[in-house]
């Protein structure tokens, strides 16, 4: 498994739109779900009540994720630009693999 983690700080008042955008029926999932090897996304909000969120995207392998990024590059960039209106900041935390299988 290959995991990609992002952190977002959402603009005040944009939380519902952000949750819809990144949630199970949102634009990102619609794009990801077309890709072979996509296993799912988890959306988390900071427990401290702040407007910080994490997305945890799961892929079958690093190669599946790389192929998705290659094939969907333009659509990915377009969604990323559209989503910028909802956030104050966006940061790639990194790519991860399970410590134990």
pTM of the full predicted structure? 0.92
Q: What is the pLDDT of residue 37?
A: 98
Q: What is the pLDDT of residue 100?
A: 85
**Domain boundaries in the chain?**
2-96
Q: What is the pLDDT of residue 93?
A: 98
pLDDT tens digits along 39-84:
999 999 999 999 999 999 999 999 999 999 999 999 999 999 999 9
Q: What is the CATH T-level fold of the domain 2-96, as seen in this structure?
A: Alpha-Beta Plaits (3.30.70)
pLDDT band (50, 70, 90) for residue 101: low
Give CA–CA dist 49/39, Å, rounded: 28
Quick one: the chain helix, strand, coil %, rounded to 5? 40, 35, 30
């Amino acid at each position: 498994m290959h995991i990609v983690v992002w952190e977002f700080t959402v603009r005040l008042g944009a939380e519902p739109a952000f949750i819809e955008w990144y949630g199970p029926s949102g634009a990102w999932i619609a794009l990801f779900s077309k890709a072979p090897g996509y296993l799912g996304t988890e959306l988390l909000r900071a427990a401290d009540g702040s407007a910080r969120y994490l997305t945890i995207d799961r892929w079958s392998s690093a190669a599946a994720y790389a192929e998705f990024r290659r094939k969907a590059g333009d659509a990915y960039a377009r969604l990323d630009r559209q989503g910028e209106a909802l956030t104050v900041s966006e940061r790639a935390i990194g790519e991860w693999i399970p410590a134990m299988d």
